[in-house]
A and B are shown apart, each in its own frame.
Chain A
Amino acid sequence: MGFLVVALLALGFQAWLPTALPTDADEAAVADILAHEAQPGDVVLLHPWWTERARLFLPAGLSVTGYLGSEGDALLEYPRIWVLSQPSLPRTPTAAFAQGFLPGRTPLGPERRFGPLVLRLYQNGRARPVRFVASEALPMASAAVELPGGGRAECVHEGTGFRCPGGARVEASWHEVLYRPTRCLFLVPPGGPGAVEVTFEAVPPSAAVRLEAAIIWEHAWKHGSHLTPLHVELADADTGAALAQVTVPPGREGFVVAEAAGGPRRLRLRVQSDNAHEREACIQLRALDAEKGASP
């Protein structure tokens, strides 16, 4: 009798599952709503994180995010978050999502349903006004490499960044940090005691500067005596005073974060690792104001 019950339940599951999946019309209806109601600076957060088919339909200019662990992302540059969820899918981790996402977030309207899709807008209480983003300011920056003898060699502008002596590189590009797609400063240090330095001019006044550094992709997971820590220092380019410093040891996945008081108008970022092999860094450097939430 037990096998019969299991078989019937299995058949029931298979008959039900298609009804839990959104149609193209459901996706298009959501896209239409967002095309009319989303504001510049909004983001769509996917739940479950892997439901990326929505990318095929959502308006082109609208940021979309969803990655393993994205429910805990502060999404601090986005004052409003559209949560596009599929709670009826099997094993959707609704409670875990709520635990990671809801603190600091306030609904700005009711849930709207489009077939099995659920769309709801939230105010992001964890958002912070962003005054400066280093990856966007890179075209106005300068870069140089410290030479072993103590001198400096300027890097040459190339494409979206700089090509430097000693194999060092600086560019603004997309990379993965612990499954999270991130637009960041991509820096390859020259190796040895020397470092690559990037100087940013005319940084707007802000309450704080936030430095986040990580090794990209699977290189972050790698460990062993041949790999060396990545040292990232942020200093006031005029006075040389250290503002923040982070070290990413081999095997450390995800961003290491440091924050300092804002103020300096010129910032210098210095990145060094004794062995540059597989030490490609993804660095987010932003000038932020304090959390205050955002008005709808």
Chain B
Amino acid sequence: MSRAPGRTDRRIAFGLFAGSFALLWATEAAVGFVRDESVYFAAGEQAVRWLHYLLVAPGRAVTDAVTTQAFDFNHEHPVGMKLLFGLSFQLFHQALGLVRPAAGFRLPAFALAACIPAVLHAWGAVLYGRRAGLFAALCFLAVPRHFFHAHLACFDMPVAALWLLVVYAFWRAETDGGWWLWTGLLFGAALATKHNALFLPPVLLPFVVARGLAASRGKAAARALLAQALLVICAALVLLGLLVLVLTPEGFLRSWNLLSPATAVVALLAAALCSLGLRLYRTDVATFRAVAPLGAMALLGPAVLYAVWPWLWYHPVDRFAAYLAFHATHVHYAWTYLGTVLREPPFPLTYVLVVTALTLPVSLLAPMGVGLLSLGLRALAGLRAAWRTRLGASASASEVLVGLNALASIVLISFPDVPHFGGVKHWLPSMPFLALLAGRQVQLAGDALGALLSARLRWFPRAAMTPVLAALVLLPAATLTAHLHPYGTSAYGELAGGVPGAASLGMQRQYWSNNVTGVLGWVNEHAPQGARVWLHEVASFRDYQRNGMLRADLQPAGGPADADVAVVQYHQEFREQEVAVWQAFGTTRPVTGLYIDETPQVVVYQRR
């Protein structure tokens, strides 16, 4: 039976996509530039310059020297999204003049972020029902931090969207033809977006094994082909392992080129898997559908990454290894957590759970948490008939897929050695799945409450309760998001006591850079003509001027010593830099600042 949503739900999903895209675009202008966003603006423009060159001099543009020069900048992230940012900027700002420069870069990010509510509805409507799907869709973007990150020309929300899309395609592939191919292509897009995608195959592998075994039960020919595929994979791994042993890991990487033994092993493996896949498709379509998504991910994922990232073209192995090594040994930036500045691992095991609980609006945290707990209990209940009877139902494989993906990124970032700076954006891929589970819980609660009320009040329409409950549950979150926009990295939920409560708890006040928009109006009004302005921890001085948010006559200062105006971000780890302003300006009194619910975020000093 197909898992495609019905016509009405497809229309609702499209409406959610269009509405989310429009909302993000409409609220974009106030959102400041986070520190890395300016880097991606520049990288996007550089990628487009290379595309121009490709049109003008294709032979030269694809050489090692030119691709290296064009894509070496910010090569710690794949170029997929940066290409889209740059192309969008080129088209919508430079060519058509429809939007300001920043919006030009950000439009592709809006589009991907807008896919999340649409997919959540399409999936949730089939899995749990329309009301659950709709709630899941709305609740995801109602979270202040989600809403904020959805605006940025960065990679965290795009990779969360692509993670969801890959898993959705994987789920659809079990019943619907062609989706196995989409799984592979979307996985390639996810790989070309951010390294989080590398963790998708291990999350999906257990489901492929289970599906493959179930689909091939009693089918000797299909089982034989699966066994052959496994044998081919093992043989290839053994051969590659031997090469590593003989050549040492460094020598192995150094010697891997187009005509090396390792290339031959990988090429033969790919060819053998394609051949076996074709035979499996002809032998038994059900078994093929069960395992084909992972095969497509294994073959198409790296191919897409390689195809869209010219930096890899001439040095695929050593540069990909360098890319992995960069993230495996990433520097640990300081991060404030419960009154302590975390600077190096091991980080607290409960960090991710605590930060999730404190940053989510509590009215959404409750159904997400209950939904996950309920799913866990039902999954356990599935193991024993007696428990199953007691709990009324067990979790389906589809629900377990949702549950594991809800936990995957949270568990991954919880490892004490994984960098913890950056807050919730690093486990965003978990959040759409938690939203799905919340949708189920709110629908169940609405149904139960509706039944209760209609039993006592005959006039009460039973079906009206879920929408009413959903609206009430969404309202505090939407209110909080509206109140804190565009300062989403400062957002804390009611459990924390809001922003001031989080300050007293000793939590990170904000991330880097974007909250400076809160004082740019003052700077524009009060800074003397040609004044030197130090925007502490802001790498976007020129971008603010380019987008008309900062006066063009103002000059960037390198620090308090050469500044007329100093704009300091309040971070626990940067106290010395604010004190340096006191020293340089001869005053401990700021002239203005951005204070959200009383908490200092950005403080402005003026030289006397």
Interface residues of A (CB under 8 A from B): 1-4, 6-11, 13-14, 17, 20-22, 48, 50-53, 55-56, 58, 60, 64, 67-68, 86, 89-93, 173-176, 179, 181, 216-218, 221
Contact = CB atoms under 8 A, between A and B. Distances in A.
B576 A48 contact: no
B573 interface: yes
A56 B604 CA distance: 10
B382 interface: no
A110 to B, nearest CB: 24
A7 B472 CA distance: 6
B504 A48 contact: yes
Contacts of A17: 498, 500, 597
Interface stretch (B223-231, B359-367, B417-425): B359-367
Contacts of B501: 89-91
Given A6-B363, A7-B472, A8-B472, 16 more contacts: A2-B445, A3-B442, A4-B449, A4-B473, A11-B475, A14-B480, A20-B500, A50-B503, A50-B504, A51-B598, A52-B600, A56-B593, A60-B587, A60-B589, A89-B501, A218-B573
B521 interface: no
Contacts, number: 134
A291 to B, nearest CB: 27
A14 B494 contact: yes
* Ranked 7 nearest A-B pairs via Cβ: A90-B497, A90-B501, A10-B476, A217-B576, A91-B501, A176-B576, A91-B497
Contacts of A89: 497, 500-501, 504, 598
B503 A48 contact: yes
Contacts of B591: 56
A22 B597 CA distance: 9
Nearest to B474: A7
5 contacts: A7-B472, A10-B361, A14-B480, A14-B483, A56-B591
Contact of B575 (A2, A22, A181): A181
A108 to B, nearest CB: 25
A52 B603 contact: yes
B445 A55 contact: no
Interface string B41-59: 0000000000000000000
A174 B366 contact: no
B367 to A, nearest CB: 6
A10 B580 contact: no
Interface string B359-383: 0011100110010000000000000
Given A6-B366, A174-B579, A13 B573 contact: no
A2 B363 CA distance: 10
Interface in B477-521: 479-480, 483, 494, 496-498, 500-506
Nearest to A1: B449
A9 B598 contact: no
A3 B445 contact: yes
Given A4-B449, A11-B476, A91 B504 contact: yes
A227 B603 CA distance: 33
Contacts of A221: 341, 343
Interface in B563-601: 572-573, 575-576, 578-580, 582-583, 587-593, 595, 597-600
Interface residues of B, number: 55
Nearest to A13: B494
Contacts of B461: none
B600 A10 contact: no
B475 to A, nearest CB: 6
Contacts of B497: 89-91
Contact of A4 (B361, B469, B503, B506): B469
A9 B366 CA distance: 12
A283 to B, nearest CB: 16
Most buried by A among B503, B582, B598: B598
B324 to A, nearest CB: 26
B598 A21 contact: yes
Contact of B498 (A1, A67, A86, A90): A90
A2 B575 CA distance: 42
A43 to B, nearest CB: 12
A14 B479 contact: yes
A14 B495 CA distance: 12
A68 B598 contact: no
A241 B497 CA distance: 56
A142 to B, nearest CB: 23
Contact of A181 (B442, B503, B582): B582
B345 interface: no
Given A3-B363, A4-B472, A8-B472, A93 B504 contact: yes
Contacts of A58: 589
Given A13-B498, A52-B603, A91-B497, A21 B361 contact: no
B216 interface: no
A174 B580 contact: yes
A7 B476 contact: yes
B152 interface: no
A91 B576 contact: no
A58 B588 CA distance: 11
B599 A10 contact: no
Contacts of A173: 583
Interface string B408-439: 00000000000000000000000000000000
